[in-house]
Amino acid sequence: MSKRFYITTAIDYVNGQPHLGHAYEKVIADVISRGRRSLGQDVFFLTGLDEHGQKVQQAAQAEGKDPQSYCDKLAADWKAFAARLSLTNDDFIRTTDARHKRVVQACLAKVNADGHVYKKTYEGFYSAKEETFLTEKDRLPDGTFDPSYGEVAVLKEENYFFKLTEQQQWLIDYIEANPTFIQPDYRRNEVLGFLKNNTLEDLCISRPVARLNWGIPLPFDPGYVTYVWFDALVNYITVPAAHGDSVVTAIVGAPPSVEGTPESLWPADLHVIGKDIVKFHAVYWPIMLKALGLPLPKQLLVHGWWQKDGAKISKSTGNIIDPIAVINEWGLDAFRFYVLRELDIGPDGNWTDAGFKSRYASELANGLGNLVNRSLSMLKRYRNGVVPVRSDELSADAEKVIAETKSFLEQNELQKALQSIWSLVTRANQYVDRTAPFKLAKDPAQAQRLDEVLYNLTETCRILAVLIWPYLPETAAKLNAQLGLPGEPNKFSAAVWGGLIAGHTIGEPAALFPRKDG
Ligand code: MSP
């Protein structure tokens, strides 16, 4: 059993419906997964839901529901959402799963037995909204707390704490010695800056049942439930444990029954997360894993946040994008294309409807759509849909883009790969304009030249289907069918010039991206 490339997303809070930010992250992880599978890697892709904690309990209360049935109802919506995005996830974790509770409790029992946990009375500031304790350092210059914390109250409470203070130096050394552990670099530098300029406070990992009961009970004190982040982060090892990964089960024990055939997953190769949750993944999670005796994940890939029309996405102000509405109107691939083409993984982005429509019109409809439609329609009209003898005029351009795309996919440079692929679309559209096959078709003496042009265009379309598949799976499949080729173009190894054989008959051309006027 060889180790699979294990990629995860953040698990979303189920206190509402999915929005653009959630969709964006899941699409990033899906394109990376598909890209690597196409390149021949064995990938395991995990996503799911974070169902415990105060936010969820309050959301359930607001609807007059008990938290479990509230979560069950919403989990169905979020799973349907994952399917609507065509995510190719291999498992879907819910933190209310029995398999997860078992692993969280095993982790807590182990760190407690190994002396990493202690109990103390804490008196200090507490933000109920963010479910977090605050210190003097969190105060703004005017003495107040950031409005994002909501109402901050003084709280006196006995709780369990996970020791962090002695862990700071090895973590700094580790991050310095492993420059790719946190990407992009500026996020890594932020974490290093934070660790070097602050002393870590021990992490409160419990909440008294009297105050919050929607959580996983501490195995060593039933008067408490587990702090939501200690619960949530563990999801990344719950799934390996449930699938019989021996690295993890050696620490947390074997599951009552292994799901499927035993897998080798841990350590994770990639945690895809947003910029707001870097501290949890880059500081708390490595320290938790080290305390458990487990290897650290290989990389955190940190994406930025979307705004809409220059303002924060917010349910309360109504400044939201409903990804499902966009997909229903424009198609799944248009949505996937826009978010990855518009925004590199790292900086923040700004969604505008005008920007979305403009990319749809210029890059999808007039770019790829027009190229495919012209190329295949001309082959149909002038050669009855039969592929002429091979010609290599565009082969060097295609091979260059194939090599670039491969290399960018391997480096998770999703926007750069798309830019490279679209340089081939542009090149091929220019080739149509320059060679003017519609004119060649009128002159019988140019029959051979027309054959050459048609071969180059049709073969470029075939290669494009392979290159776009990780990003635009529906379009790639349609294009393959229009080319009269079987199955999905999901093997990167097929992206080699000359695959189309003379005499092959293509299928029926049809518009890939219907033009929408107005
Ligand atoms: N439940 C925690 C994560 C636990 S992971 C062990 C959480 N959930 S969340 O629902 O608030 O956010 C889930 C992911 O969506 C995070 O990575 C977050 O950064 C991302 N996004 C939420 N809003 C976003 C935008 N507006 N734009 C881009 N991504 C955003 O945090």
Which residue of 19, 276, 345 sits with most ligand 1 atoms within 8 Å of its CB, as the best mutation to test the pocket?
276
User: How many residues belong to the chain?
Assistant: 518
Residue 51's closest CA among 91, 84, 80, 92? 92
**Residue 322 neighbours by CB under 8 Å, 6+ apart:** 17, 19
CB 93 less than 6 A from any atom of ligand 1: no
CB 51 less than 6 A from any atom of ligand 1: no
Which residue of 7, 9, 49, 50 sits with most ligand 1 atoms within 8 Å of its CB, as the best mutation to test the pocket?
50
Cα of 432 to ligand 1 centre, how many Å?
Answer: 44
CB 232 less than 6 A from any atom of ligand 1: yes
Report residue 515's pLDDT band, with 50, 70 and 90 as the boundaries: confident
Report residue 130's pLDDT band, with 50, 70 and 90 as the boundaries: confident
pLDDT for the residue 333 = 98
Report residue 242's pLDDT band, with 50, 70 and 90 as the boundaries: very high
Residue 73's closest CA among 101, 47, 43, 51? 51
7 and 46 Cβ atoms separated by less than 8 Å: yes
DSSP structure class, residue 180: T
Class of residue 239 by CB neighbours under 10 A (exposed 0-12, middle 13-18, buried 19+): buried
365 and 359 Cβ atoms separated by less than 8 Å: no
- Range 498-510 average pLDDT: 97
pLDDT tens-digit profile of 36-91? 999 999 999 999 999 999 889 989 999 999 999 999 999 999 999 999 999 999 99
CA distances in angstroms from 216 to 115, 229, 488, listed in the order given: 20, 11, 43
CB 345 less than 6 A from any atom of ligand 1: no
Query: pTM of the entire structure?
Result: 0.96
pLDDT for the residue 54 = 87
Half-sphere CA count of 455, side-chain side, radius 13 A: 23
Cis, bond preceding 470 (omega within 30 deg of 0): no
CB 25 less than 6 A from any atom of ligand 1: yes
Six token digits for residue 180: 């790719």
For β-strands 203-204 and 217-218, DSSP reports them as unpaired
Six token digits for residue 142: 């005017």
**3-class secondary structure per residue, 138-150:** HECCCCCECHHHC
* Long-range contacts formed by 172-179: CB under 8 A, 24+ apart: 172/196, 174/286, 174/296, 175/282
Q: Cα separation of 142 and 260, whole Å?
A: 57
CB 363 less than 6 A from any atom of ligand 1: no
Cα of 442 to ligand 1 centre, how many Å?
Answer: 58
Q: Closest ligand 1 atom, CA of 235?
A: 6
- Range 376-405 average pLDDT: 98
- Range 294-304 average pLDDT: 98
Which residue of 233, 238, 277 sits with most ligand 1 atoms within 8 Å of its CB, as the best mutation to test the pocket?
277
Q: Closest ligand 1 atom, CA of 50?
A: 1
pLDDT tens-digit profile of 318-368? 899 999 999 999 999 999 999 999 999 999 999 999 999 999 999 999 999
Q: Cα separation of 241 and 148, whole Å?
A: 36
Six token digits for residue 406: 């491969």
For β-strands 5-9 and 117-127, DSSP reports them as unpaired
Report residue 485's pLDDT band, with 50, 70 and 90 as the boundaries: very high
Which amino acid is it at 121? T
Phi, psi of 92 (to 5 degrees): -135, 110
pLDDT for the residue 517 = 66
Six token digits for residue 335: 């949505």
Q: Cα separation of 356 and 320, whole Å?
A: 15
166 and 142 Cβ atoms separated by less than 8 Å: no
134 and 126 Cβ atoms separated by less than 8 Å: yes
Which amino acid is it at 150? G
Residue 303's closest CA among 269, 339, 282, 272? 272
